Chains A and B, each alone.
Chain A
Amino acid sequence: DTGVSQDPRHKITKRGQNVTFRCDPISEHNRLYWYRQTLGQGPEFLTYFQNEAQLEKSRLLSDRFSAERPKGSFSTLEIQRTEQGDSAMYLCASSQGGAGNSPLHFGNGTRLTVT
């Protein structure tokens, strides 16, 4: 078990640029989640996948955000035309779906700074 891996760890970008983050979940986990955490706050749910299907999206996920999990393994989160308000830690988590005994395993996150 190598854990959930996220890349890059840090990203600094200028306002208006596009950025893409990658998440590699634990290999046997079929569910993958994206959360956003701003300074001094707890994580907020953005979206989740079961295998390759994106099953739920938060209202926090504006049209500038898109997430994919094309083969049901790794996932990407893209932010287009970044804004300063997008600066946050983006956390990925995975779990083995099913009943309630499947806690989330989080990656170390990608910290985005928009200048």
Chain B
Amino acid sequence: GQNIDQPTEMTATEGAIVQINCTYQTSGFNGLFWYQQHAGEAPTFLSYNVLDGLEEKGRFSSFLSRSKGYSYLLLKELQMKDSASYLCAVRGDYKLSFGAGTTVTVRA
């Protein structure tokens, strides 16, 4: 089975940094994805990690440690528009299994 854990909620101040952790225990691993989802909208792709290490893409970075079953998404220079739910998803064979999502609230 698949077990993907991430915190339910996080709050941070505009301009700050927030790190969203994700731990997983899955049968098979073929990559870990992070998606952003605003309320009432579909998820949008943020990042993909399949090898250990850090992937940086602008203000967003994602890290993976396969041996630890651990990933994090780092959001830098937070903006109000970053308030959203962030979903960690692990691909087994071909399917994605999603965590419950972390709701990030950015305050002025």
Indicate, yes or no, whether A interacts with B: no
Query: Contact residues of B with A, CB < 8 Å?
Result: none
Query: Contact residues of A with B, CB < 8 Å?
Result: none
